[in-house]
Chains A and B, each alone.
Chain A
Amino acid sequence: MSAETCFHCALPLNGRDDLAVLVDGEARLMCCTGCQAVASAIVDGGLEQFYQYRSVNSARNDDSKNADFSAYDLPAVQADLISVDEQGVATIELGVSGISCAACAWLIEHHLQQLPGVTKVAVNVSRQRCRLQWHKDQLPLSQLLSAFIDIGYRAYPAKESNKLEHIERDQKGYLLRLGVAGIGMMQAGMLAVALYAGAFQGMDGHWQNLLRWVSLVVATPVVFYSAQPFFKGAWRSLSPIYRNMGKSLGKSLNGGLPWHQSLTMDVPVALAIGLAYGASAWGTVMTGGEVYFDAVSMLTFFLLLGRFLEMRVRYRNELVAGEVTDLIPLSVQRYENTHDGACLEQVPVKSLCAGDIIQVDEGECLAVDGVVLAGQSPVIEAVLSGEQDPVAKGPGDTVSAGTVNTTNPLKIKVSAVGQGTRLAAIVDMLDSVAAEKPRQLALADRLAAAFIAFVLLLAVAVFSVWWLHDADRALWVTLSVLVVTCPCALSLATPVVLAAATGRLQRQGFLVRSSHVLETLSKVTRVVLDKTGTLTTGKLEIDSIVLSSTAQALDTEMVVSIAAALEQGCRHPIASAFKQRQTETNRQAEQLVYQVGGGVSGVLDGKRYALGKAAFIEQCFALQVPTDLLLSSQSASDSLNLKHRLEVILASEEKVLARIVLVDELRPGARDLVSSLQAQGLAVELLSGDQASNTAALATDLGIKHWQGNNSPEDKLATIRTRQNAGDIVLMVGDGINDVPVLSGADISVAMAEATDFTRMACDAVLLSGNLNTLVDTIAVARKTEAVIRQNIAWALIYNFSALPLAAMGWVPPWAAAIGMSASSLVVVLNALRLQHSNKGQGGNLDNTSRQWQGAAVSGLQAET
């Protein structure tokens, strides 16, 4: 398998075999220069054991070289972030994205400790944080941050998030409750064994009394401290019913039960715990009846465990997907003296206010909203509109934070900063949309409400029958009904399975963000794909260069270096294709002139060149682009047809030099995705905003039968609505911010890892691995998850319904109730754990994972011996 996939990130190599790194004495192939750079940095640092230790494949590293952290070295920016002690040792808390397993912590700690001046590195895998201590005068912060980039992680100063802090606090509380319940359960269980043995063999009354009293002491903190969340939850779900009781009583008689929907699992749990504890305590004090202290403690412990697991999943999801990375820069250049306008100073964005005049150089991202005072430059407003094509801006035009200035410096008067910007408004809007999105009621909850109503009514019936029949036993029999039917297994059935499944999907690189994803995913009938950025990588690369017959003494190498020099400093997508070459040759063109939608011209080594569309070249130099060059493009188009293609012409003043064909590469796994989905009987559809011809070419190449090109977001949404009305459950995969309305219209939305933060926040799931093939596995896992949930619920219901008549007849002694309850919970948990392990032949990544796991274990053993 190492023959076809990247050693570092396990994505398909797509036929590349020219990038390799020597790891453990063996040449390993890499898929891209990013992965190659990271792997070399790891090996050169002597840390190649990382590859044995890791249990999860690393992420692909595409843009690793574009990061610029110099703003973090400004004292004003640092002031809030780091604390320095007397010896000059600075401490900073960093958030790190890309940490997927414990081996990542090992790698980061060892890599950073090799840097001069670093005194302490502590990585917390659960919180994805890193606490760093270093001598500030020996190493600037920006270098520390780029050291993370070198080994494939991205670090940023940790931001305070109320939501995360809240979950963290809750989590700690649950851990404490869990500990108390666990210890209490063990003690109560031990005492219960003595009591049961006594019940069989005979035991003195005073010994039995002592053991009961001790059990009462042990169970009391469990009930009053550990089980608190259940009582609170039950109260929350009951109090609105209580308030509405009067109003809805009349309606309820003919329109079903009013509290049917709001009854949560907490109600019977709290009822069972409360009644069983109360009755046992009463029995202890009055020396009679039965005691259920062991069952109460065990019930609490198991339920808390389920809650705790659920919470950990939620925390991890929040951590990975909730982080809105800094789109806008930390510092800007402000004119200190507005009258002269000569004095520019680098200041943090925080200290800006409306009315300030700032300068934004070409290639910079705007940090504020404002009005252009001077300068002419096209600006990419992809953040606002989703369009990659730059929009021309001149004096008097308004510009927004988050947009990118492409070609010339702009002088801007600030009109809004921080929370006042349009960008902040968009983020707020998306936040609230995400919060208000109606959640699908999970199957177990729907069942629970009905089941609870049934059990409560039954308990009342049992009590009244026994009251008439044998009043002494009425309370104890009713109690055993409630304990036996306590929906412990039923309430564990879903959360445990979801925790296991989401954990497994995350290791595969699929992040589940909302709870309904797995349930809906298993029912999906149609998959709608976006083109650019989803099926293709969205990054242009040089595919081929055709030299013009008039260009003597030129080779492709020179053509590329001229083009690179012309495109240098430009942020247009086309320029990124030449970026790598530009850093290699480092030639600089002068007098660059850009024309939006046309091309660029400039002077290099005293000669004037132009690069752009044929029309632009003709207009620029009064040259006729030879038709043979264009004609050859027609003939060549058959083979090129398969990819998204774009051509530009390079010319000097006298003659046309070459035609450069750029392609948008297919994303790894795209071809397999389409065929596997279709093999599973799912309909696949391609909706693209790109030209119909390009869309058609890609669709025929991948074998997609339904496709539409030239689609606006409204068109796409309309298509999805039509499909939904026809009865399809639609899964949409996209990446652009322009896709957000479409994505939220679909039953399930999946964002690509490279998608903007807004898109990721609006989506139900994120494909972190960048490997489209993961989606196929994910659907399989979702189906299996749904099956396991159904098995669990079926098992819990069968158990409860078969135990119910026995308990109602008064045939179930306390020990049998306790054993039955815990056994049914255990079955449910063990069944869920089956999901954690992969099936053979499913998900290549996972085979790799287990192999690496064994590697880690083996090397651990070797280290010990």
Chain B
Amino acid sequence: MESLYFLIPLSMVVVALGIWLFFWAVNNGQYDDLDGEAERILFDQLDVNTKTEESVKQAAGFQAKRKPESAQNSVNNENA
């Protein structure tokens, strides 16, 4: 049991160290964004270049195709 005389003060030192570390982290700005950083790890760090070029092209083609069509539609609406 006598080891407690050493272990308890040691734990106090660890606690003090922990508090110092926490102060350092907060003052260093590591806790400035409590909302964003929490979820960041869930998002893929995607490399845009390796992303399937095809799907982007396909989407772009689709958008280009739809544009004149939608303009035509709104004219038709006006006629109605």
Chain A residues with CB under 8 Å of chain B are 18-23, 25, 27, 40, 43-49, 53, 55, 101-103, 105-106, 110, 114, 123-127, 172, 175-176, 179-180, 183, 187, 207, 210, 214, 217-218, 221, 312, 542-545, 556-557, 560, 584, 856-857, 859-860, 863
Query: Looking across the interface, which residue of chain A has its beta carbon closest to that of B73?
Result: A18
Give Cα distance in the complex from A127 to B59, angstroms: 34
Query: Looking across the interface, which residue of chain A has its beta carbon closest to that of B53?
Result: A46
Docked-complex contact A125 and B78, CB < 8 angstroms: no
With A49-B43, A860-B43 in contact, is A20–B66 under 8 Å at CB?
A: yes
Of A18, A45, A53, A176, chain B has the most CB atoms within 10 Å of the CB of A18
Give Cα distance in the complex from A25 to B61, angstroms: 12
B3 at the A interface (CB under 8 A):
no
6 smallest A-B Cβ distances: which pairs?
A: A125-B36, A102-B39, A860-B42, A22-B62, A18-B73, A125-B35
Docked-complex contact A175 and B26, CB < 8 angstroms: yes
With A23-B59, A110-B48 in contact, is A214–B12 under 8 Å at CB?
A: yes
Docked-complex contact B8 and A214, CB < 8 angstroms: yes
Docked-complex contact A217 and B12, CB < 8 angstroms: yes
CB-defined interface of B2-42 with A at 8 Å, one 1/0 digit per residue?
A: 00110010011001001100110011000111111111111
Which B residues lie within 8 Å of A214 (CB)?
8, 12
Docked-complex contact B44 and A859, CB < 8 angstroms: yes
With A19-B70, A175-B31, A556-B75 in contact, is A105–B36 under 8 Å at CB?
A: yes
Which A residues lie within 8 Å of B51 (CB)?
46
Give Cα distance in the complex from A40 to B62, angstroms: 10
Which B residues lie within 8 Å of A124 (CB)?
32-33, 36
Partner of B55, one of A25, A53, A110, A857: A25
Partner of B22, one of A20, A179, A542: A179
Docked-complex contact B15 and A183, CB < 8 angstroms: yes
With A210-B8, A214-B8 in contact, is A183–B80 under 8 Å at CB?
A: no
Docked-complex contact A125 and B33, CB < 8 angstroms: yes
Tell me, rounded to whole Å, the shortest Cβ–Cβ distance linking B25 to chain A.
9
Give Cα distance in the complex from A43 to B63, angstroms: 10
Query: Looking across the interface, which residue of chain A has its beta carbon closest to that of B74?
Result: A18
Tell me, rounded to whole Å, the shortest Cβ–Cβ distance linking A207 to chain B.
7
Besides the known contacts A46-B51, A214-B12, 6 further A-B residue pairs in the complex with CB atoms under 8 A apart = A102-B38, A102-B43, A110-B48, A127-B32, A221-B19, A560-B78
Tell me, rounded to whole Å, the shortest Cβ–Cβ distance linking A240 to chain B.
34
Tell me, rounded to whole Å, the shortest Cβ–Cβ distance linking B13 to chain A.
12
Partner of A127, one of B33, B44, B70: B33
Docked-complex contact B43 and A43, CB < 8 angstroms: no
Q: How many residues of B contact A (CB 8 A)?
A: 47
Docked-complex contact B26 and A172, CB < 8 angstroms: yes
Which B residues lie within 8 Å of A556 (CB)?
75, 78-79
Docked-complex contact B63 and A544, CB < 8 angstroms: no
Docked-complex contact B48 and A126, CB < 8 angstroms: no
Give Cα distance in the complex from A25 to B54, angstroms: 11
Which B residues lie within 8 Å of A544 (CB)?
78, 80
Partner of A106, one of B22, B26, B31, B40: B40
Which A residues lie within 8 Å of B58 (CB)?
22, 25
With A106-B43, A207-B4 in contact, is A44–B56 under 8 Å at CB?
A: yes
Give Cα distance in the complex from A49 to B79, angstroms: 39
Name 8 interchain pairs, CB-CB below 8 A, sorted by A. A19-B70, A43-B60, A105-B36, A114-B48, A125-B33, A126-B35, A183-B22, A860-B43
With A217-B12, A856-B42 in contact, is A43–B33 under 8 Å at CB?
A: no
With A18-B74, A44-B59, A125-B35 in contact, is A105–B12 under 8 Å at CB?
A: no
Of A22, A127, A543, chain B has the most CB atoms within 10 Å of the CB of A22
Which B residues lie within 8 Å of A126 (CB)?
32-36
Docked-complex contact B59 and A43, CB < 8 angstroms: yes
Which A residues lie within 8 Å of B74 (CB)?
18
Give Cα distance in the complex from A180 to B39, angstroms: 25
Give Cα distance in the complex from A20 to B59, angstroms: 11
Of B11, B36, B46, B70, chain A has the most CB atoms within 10 Å of the CB of B36
Tell me, rounded to whole Å, the shortest Cβ–Cβ distance linking A64 to chain B.
16
Docked-complex contact B12 and A584, CB < 8 angstroms: no
Partner of A49, one of B15, B44, B70, B71: B44
Give Cα distance in the complex from A48 to B59, angstroms: 10
Give Cα distance in the complex from A172 to B71, angstroms: 53
With A49-B44, A210-B4 in contact, is A22–B75 under 8 Å at CB?
A: no
Query: Looking across the interface, which residue of chain B has its beta carbon closest to that of A39?
Result: B63
Which A residues lie within 8 Å of B73 (CB)?
18
With A102-B39, A125-B33, A556-B78 in contact, is A584–B71 under 8 Å at CB?
A: yes
Tell me, rounded to whole Å, the shortest Cβ–Cβ distance linking B27 to chain A.
8
Docked-complex contact B39 and A103, CB < 8 angstroms: yes
Give Cα distance in the complex from A126 to B69, angstroms: 41
Tell me, rounded to whole Å, the shortest Cβ–Cβ distance linking B21 to chain A.
10
Which B residues lie within 8 Å of A43 (CB)?
56, 59-60, 63
Which B residues lie within 8 Å of A179 (CB)?
19, 22-23, 26
Give Cα distance in the complex from A431 to B55, angstroms: 51
Partner of A53, one of B35, B43, B59, B79: B43
Which B residues lie within 8 Å of A857 (CB)?
42
